[in-house]
Amino acid sequence: MEFSSKFALVTGASRGIGKAIAKALCDNGAFVYLVSRDAKTLSQSAMDIDPTGKRVKAIPCDITSNTNIKELFKRIEADEVYLDILVNAAGIAPASCAEDTPYDEWKDTLNTNLGAVFSLCQNAFLSMKHNCGGKIINIASILGNYGASGLSAYCASKGGVIALTKQLATEWARYNINVNAIAPGYILTDMTKGLQNDPILNQKVINRTPLGRFGKVEDVANTALFLACNSSDFITGAVIPVDGGMSATLV
């Protein structure tokens, strides 16, 4: 796969899945804008991904603010760059029982995981229209299709990401913009540290996963690479589970 003339923006690029996707794109020749909230961890991530600094640019941005997203795209525009690839990987997963979830937590989760994804897609659209095509990859979750105790806002937000992916795929196909989603199962990142560190929950995840393990960030990154390259040109509106078979099985 060769992305040498391609420009990508990856959110959530300071760690976990976003960082792995950004690294995979960069290793395959793309220039990658790295976005996440925390300037310090983002700049460390940029160093890890490309120590030469020639193929990455870190732009700290809290994507819960639409004004910040507009500023972010102004900075990219100032580089006279038109994006080819957008990967929406930033996300949060606060846990609380539905009856106890503070409304602000609900709004923040929906805003980060869904509202910001819409705004980022909307802003990237102009670049992609200019380029006569593009690839948008939204990181949803298997929990966009299933319930999970204590994660009402998260499940609702990821269900929204799946619906939005199909809707934008339909609307922007005429611009040659492919919009797809990846629905990861349980992946070894900071987000699942609590599960990993609890021996009972850890074993439960492994038992419920036909392939018998947590996913690695590279499992998700490899799928993102496929969706970003020309081999997937006839795929749009798809939601690809990367979950070791968890969503294929009932017990």
**Ramachandran angles phi, psi of 12, nearest 5°:** 70, 30
Q: Which is nearer to ligand NAI, 145 or 176 (CB)?
A: 145
For residue 105 the two structure tokens come to 């937590």
Is 136 near ligand NAI (CB under 6 A)?
A: no
SS3 annotation, 32-63: EEEEECCHHHHHHHHHHHCCCCCCEEEEECCC
Cβ 41 to ligand NAI shortest distance, Å: 7
Residue 146: active-site member: no
Of positions 58, 69, 76, 90, contacts ligand NAI by CB under 6 A: 90
List the one residue out of 57, 75, 173, 62 whose CA is nearest residue 123. Answer: 75
Q: Which is nearer to ligand NAI, 88 or 232 (CB)?
A: 88
Cβ 176 to ligand NAI shortest distance, Å: 26
What percent helix, strand, coil does the chain show, rounded to 5? 50, 15, 30
CA distance 90 to 2: 25
Query: Which string of x and - marks every residue 211-240 that binds ligand NAI (by CB under 6 A)?
Result: ------------------------------
Applying CB under 6 A, the residues found at the interface with ligand NAI are: 11-12, 14-18, 36-38, 62-64, 89-93, 112, 139, 141, 184, 186-187, 189-192
